[in-house]
Structure 1
């Protein structure tokens, strides 16, 4: 053996394995950053429903909160939002604000249709996601997770930032 050649030791093999582990960890971290920056959409190949601008209007004293979001349907058929659930709230329902003369009331609805190649807005003064019975302390600046269940079998789970009434306006 010449002076320039050294036997391969376990230290050299460990260095390669460690470099490979760091490369894999870096690729995984990049994938997580990319996933966090993209809009939430339904699982599956079709990705028919895309969630845009989700947020929750928080109210003090354990009053019900309201979730708002725009749902975009990229498919050729209408798709209904048929259920809402959350690990952060004991109760999550789809409601609609209905005007009757000078009064308004909130009514629970069974579904909201998202037309084909169009959008449905769940926005203040119309449809909203009624969120009751928080399972832990929730305050402005927090994020809550909601699952939106659709008539085509798809489920979209996404993060809704929590805003105070002043931030929401």
Structure 2
């Protein structure tokens, strides 16, 4: 009986290990934050490449630099701009998901200290499997539209 019990536990552990750390399957590149004057919210943009064969879900974010973070998607419908708050963001398998102006972004609110152009800000993305993906963002000026312009 004990042998069967431990065999089942070992099998479950192997199944869990297959998806135990989704953060290892996601590569974050080209991260940048558009810094606005005063204590206005900042928008964070990044490219996220999911190299796994399954969808990875981002379910939250935290940063030591900001008091509140949330995910949004901007869109234009009928000539009207709108911004929708998202509880989670799906990263499709073997694909790149781009957070860019006019689309997905992480909203960073209540800066704990002034963030200046050139500073690096780390935002920890919480994934549905419980792992954490630290993402480095470079602070850019309010008129920036990419990491390099």
Bin the TM-score by the shorter chain.
0.7 to 0.9
CA distance in structure 1 between the aligned counterparts of 2:40 and 2:23, rounded to whole angstroms: 38
CA distance in structure 2 between the aligned counterparts of 1:46 and 1:90, rounded to whole angstroms: 23
1:46 positional shift = 7.6
Q: Under a length normalisation based on structure 1, what TM-score does the superposition of the two structures give?
A: 0.70
Q: Compare relative contact order (CA 8 Å, sep 6+) and give the higher one, 1 or 2.
A: 2
Alignment pair present for 1:61 and 2:42 = no
Change (3 A) 1:167 1:149: same
Of Structure 1 and Structure 2, which has the larger fraction of its residues in helix? 1
Question: Deviation digits for residues 43-77 of structure 1, max 9, x if unmatched?
Answer: 95981111111110111121110000111111110
Show structure 2 runs of 5+ residues with no match: 1-19
Change (3 A) 1:154 1:61: same
* Number of residue equivalences: 127
Of Structure 1 and Structure 2, which has the larger fraction of its residues in strand? 2
Show structure 1 runs of 5+ residues with no match: 1-42
Q: Which residue of the other structure, out of 90, 93, 113, is the alignment partner of 1:116?
A: 93
Runs of 4+ in structure 1 deviating by more than 3 angstroms, as ranges, are 43-46, 166-169
Q: Which has the larger radius of gyration?
A: 1
